[in-house]
Structure 1
Amino acid sequence: MRQARVLQRRSQKDVASALGYHQSKVSRLESGRGTEDVRMLREIAQVLAIPPHRLGLAATSDISPSDPETEDMRRRTLLAAGIATLAAPTTTPHNSHQDLVQSLLPGAARVTAEPVPDLQTLQDQVTGVRRLFCTCDYTQLEGALPVLIGQLRQAINENPGSSELSGLLATTYQTSASLLLKQSDQGNAWLAVGRAMAEAERSGDPVVLASSVRVHAHALARDSHTAQAVTLVRHTADQLTGSYDQRSPRYLAALGLLLLRGVTAASSGGDRSATQDFLTEAKEVARYVALDSPDAWANFSPTNVALHGLSAAVVFGDAGVALETARPLMRRHIPVPERRAALWIEAGRAYSQQGRLADGYQALRIAESCAAQDIRRPAVRELVADMAARDRRRTLPELHRFSRQLGVPA
């Protein structure tokens, strides 16, 4: 709402006048309060020329006034996803991004003339999008996800109650959430998280559910709800831990990644004790499984545990400890590009904390060679901009050129 108003160069008072309300009402709406009234949202959409789906609403032609149940479902879905879904990005998103967000919104699955692929083909396609994520091919991934979501939803419509299809759809929504979080689009990530949790519950598969809880905890931590994220991970992991020698690799990988999400959430919240507890348990799980390739259902291994220990040290400001952890990893073969890039990005952060900007710059360029698209996500661009801003005497012209290349000049 705010983005639409600002782009139209309109004041809150002007919009309030068009709506017939006081300016304070518009201010409350833009801050996420008072949005329960669907009629109000429709008026806002009309006055500001916002596509209804951006506010979680169906197009007017899709429903009738006599269908309050459908409208209420859309309202509840919007609210459950979090009011952050109303916060649009500062730039106009690409068509592929809009298509992805559209595929996450409520409504009937789009029916195509093409036959729905069989279960094996759909499984292969889900594996394919997971590989695109692990290899950091985010552009192709963003284009592939809406098509796959549509196919899976249509397949479920034709085979209601299929736990296998629900599990595949949940995994696809999980991947969507992870991508949106990489893009710092927390609002729309919540839509994907809600979808993933619902399909995971329908699948009845504890492994799929654990993976959906993991992305749920990730979204919570990114919205600074670290205590809730830690509690969610701990509660779920307590139901899955134990008898590791009798569990399948898929089960152990899902549990291990869930515990590593606990590491991230606990360290973000400044809880060293919980961070260490999650790391210790993850190391124990890693004794029994090592899935460490882009084609794996999930990437979990002792290397991944060490990488999360490195990341936690950086978050706590323990740059020396972080670099000690990083050095042996720098000599280790890490087959997953996303994980290789993560190693060098975290090393870059640690060098930056020590004021070693030249070393930090070199680490980030190595990360770029591992996964060029990963280095261009908002969090890394902010790091580069910060490093360039600290080089006030411009002793590192290559750092400033890199900053300009990423579109974030100091």
Structure 2
Amino acid sequence: MSDELAGRPIGERIQAIRERTGKSRPVVAGLVGRSAEWLKAVERGRRQPPRIDMLIRLGEALGVVDLSELTGAESLNISLQRRAGHEIVAPIREAIESADLTVSPDPRPNAEHLAVQAERAWQTWHASAIPRAAAGALLPRLIREGRRATRLLDGNDRRKAFAALASAYALSEQVLAWVADSALLWLAADRCMECAQQADDPETLAAAAWVLGNVWRSTGREEDAWRLVSDASAVLEPHLDNGSDDTRALWGSNQLHASITLARLGREGDAMHALDQADAMTARLPKGYAHPWTLFGSPNATMTGISVSVDLRKSGHAIDYANAGDLDAIPSLDRRARLWLELARGYNQRGDTISTLHTMQRATSISAESMRAHPIARSLAGELVTSGGRLVETEARALARQVGLVGV
């Protein structure tokens, strides 16, 4: 790639890499918290090349390994590997990457206890205003105990242990998203799928597909992610009538996943069809139900409707979804904060600076940690400072400091 693009300016290199990876301009711009018009101006050379922090975000959105791929400058060989944006990344990395060749047989592992611990870790993740710190503290031991159990148990207990370990790896992917490098996310998701296959359970397989699809979508493999969750839905379809609520919820979760992925591919009709399919499934679930991992249920479908509308640059539809639902009904502080962030993106697309600010403030009040971890939150906060105008300048600077921007 470097030889092929040698001598070309940064904007042209960004455009060439974006087109080569099959990403649309609105999708990449949305991932870094800017407008498609801004990215077009960068690509066409009508704006100065982005600063280093924005180049890093663009590099992550485009899935490059090294910033020199964007800049063409060998002196800017800043690696995007092994990133650690939170203190929990290092201990989780150590647990995931460790190779324990020998294990002690005593005390004997208990597969049921392991499953309970995994469930409690997910509950901690959803309930905490500092989800990465709280759930991340539980994961290293849970992963090690799960790996030990799969080595020592056999038969049905071993399959249960693999299901619990798949759950731990799945939660690791959620905790590490946006704060760790893509290589570690890939490893967590791959091990989640491997454990799900060993568990030999349709629900665990479908849940693992949802996890792996998250990583594929975020690293430029949207088509692969869509096919994966479509296959997962097909695995569950024979069990929808006679299976559990979790079975139906995981089918719906993968429909929501497909909807977001198709929206980022620009396939509006297919995205809305998948969203409608998921919404119909919520009616088949008990009132107030939410899947332990994915939180699939009526509020979650509303959240996805907002995200899909924003990704399709239909901000009016996003606001309509928000007005029709109860945003505070989502049983996860991280998801709730991210929902308000999605709504802030919608207001930002409309050029409504005051509503963008107030919505971002609401998101940050729910979970400042989640907003500090999310690049779109930081980018929106920075944009409010630099482009929001005098009416919001003071509050925008305070918000920027809350989400971790320095020097504002």
TM-score by length of 2: 0.73
The 3-state SS of whatever aligns with 1:241 is helix
Q: Deviations over 1:60-82 (max 9, x none)?
A: xxxxxxxxxxxxxxxxxxxxxx9
Candidates 315, 320, 331, aligned match of 1:319: 315
- Per the TM alignment, residue 93 of structure 1 is displaced from its structure 2 partner at its CA by 5.8
Q: Which amino acid aligns with 1:141?
A: A
Between stretches 356-365 and 178-187, larger displacement belongs to: 178-187
**What is the Cα deviation at residue 222 of structure 1?**
0.3
Among 281, 286, 290, the residue aligned to 1:285:
281
Query: Which of 343, 348, 373 is matched with 2:344 structurally?
Result: 348
Deviates more, 1:378-387 or 1:254-263: 378-387
Distance 1:262-1:307 versus aligned 2 partners, 3 A rule: same
Partner of 2:94: 102
Equivalent residue, structure 1, for 2:134: 140
Does the 8 A contact of 1:104 with 1:192 survive in 2?
yes
In structure 1, the partner of 2:381 is 384
2:235 equivalent among 232, 239, 243:
239
Q: 1:88 aligns with which of 65, 76, 81?
A: 81
Counterpart in the other structure of 2:403: 406
- CA displacement, residues 183-206 of structure 1 (integer Å, 9 cap, x when unaligned): 253221000011011110000001
Q: CA RMSD in A?
A: 2.7
1:193 corresponds to: 189
Q: Which residue of 2 aligns with 1:28?
A: none
Q: How far apart, CA to CA, are the structure 1 residues paired with 2:171 and 2:108? A: 21
Structure ranking higher on relative contact order (CA contacts 8 Å, 6+ apart): 2
Residue-pair matches, total: 328
- Partners of 1:217 and 1:160 in 2: CA distance: 29
Amino acid at match of 1:307: M
Q: Are 2:114 and 1:122 equivalent residues in the alignment?
A: yes
Give the deviation of 1:295 after TM superposition: 8.6
Please give the alpha-carbon distance, in whole angstroms, between the structure 1 residues aligned to 2:101 and 2:325: 45
Q: Deviations over 1:121-162 (max 9, x none)?
A: 212210111112223521021121111000111112111451
Q: 1:297 to 1:267 in 2, by over 3 A?
A: closer
Query: For structure 1, which runs of at least 5 residues remain unmatched after alignment?
Result: 1-81
- Contact preservation (8 Å) 2:253, 2:296: yes
Match of 1:24 in 2: none
Name the aligned partner's letter for residue 81 of structure 2: A
User: Are residues 339 and 108 of structure 1, via their aligned partners in 2, closer, same or farther at CA, if it must alter by over 3 Å?
Assistant: same
Displacement of 1:256 in angstroms is 1.4
Which amino acid in structure 2 is aligned with residue 97 of structure 1? V
1:134 and 1:294 in contact (8 A); partners too: no
Local SS of the residue matching 2:292: coil
Taking the aligned partners of 1:189 and 1:210, their CA distance within structure 2 comes to: 18
1:228 aligns with 2:214: no
1:212 aligns with 2:208: yes
Shift of residue 389, structure 1, vs aligned partner: 2.3
Q: For 1:300-311, what aligned pairs fall within 5 Å after superposition?
A: 300-311=296-307
Check 1:182–1:257 CA distance in 2 against 1; reply closer, same or farther (3 A cut).
farther
- The alignment partner of 1:288 has SS state of coil
Task: Letter of the 2:274 partner, please give it.
Answer: F
Asked if the contact 1:170/1:212 (under 8 Å) is kept, the reply is yes
CA shift at 1:84, angstroms? 5.9
1: distance between equivalents of 2:290 and 2:332? 5
CA apart distance, 1:366: 1.6
Q: Write out per-residue CA displacement over residues 273-320 of structure 1, whole angstroms, 9 at most, x where no aligned residue.
A: 221121122122212125857893541112211210111001111111
CA distance in 2, matches of 1:260, 1:291: 19
Q: CA deviation at 1:347?
A: 1.3
Aligned partner of 2:145 in structure 1 is 151
- AA at the equivalent of 1:405: Q
Residues 85 and 373, structure 2, Cα contact 8 Å, conserved in 1: no
The corresponding residue for 2:333 is 337
How far did residue 378 of structure 1 move? Answer: 2.8
Equivalence for 1:59: none
- Taking the aligned partners of 1:92 and 1:200, their CA distance within structure 2 comes to 28
- Aligned equivalents of 2:388, 2:102: Cα separation in 1: 52
Question: What SS does the aligned partner of 1:195 have?
Answer: helix
Any idea what SS the aligned residue of 2:220 has? coil
User: CA contact under 8 A between 1:252 and 1:285: conserved in structure 2?
Assistant: yes
Separation in 2 of the partners of 1:234 and 1:91? 32
Contact residue 348 and residue 364 of structure 1 kept, 8 A: yes
- Asked whether the equivalents of residues 240 and 247 of structure 2 are also in contact (C-alpha less than 8 Å), the reply is no
Counterpart in 2 of 1:397?
Answer: 394
CA contact (8 A) 1:127 1:295 kept: no
The answer to whether the Cα contact below 8 Å between 1:338 and 1:374 also exists between their aligned partners in 2 is: yes
How many percent identity over aligned positions?
23
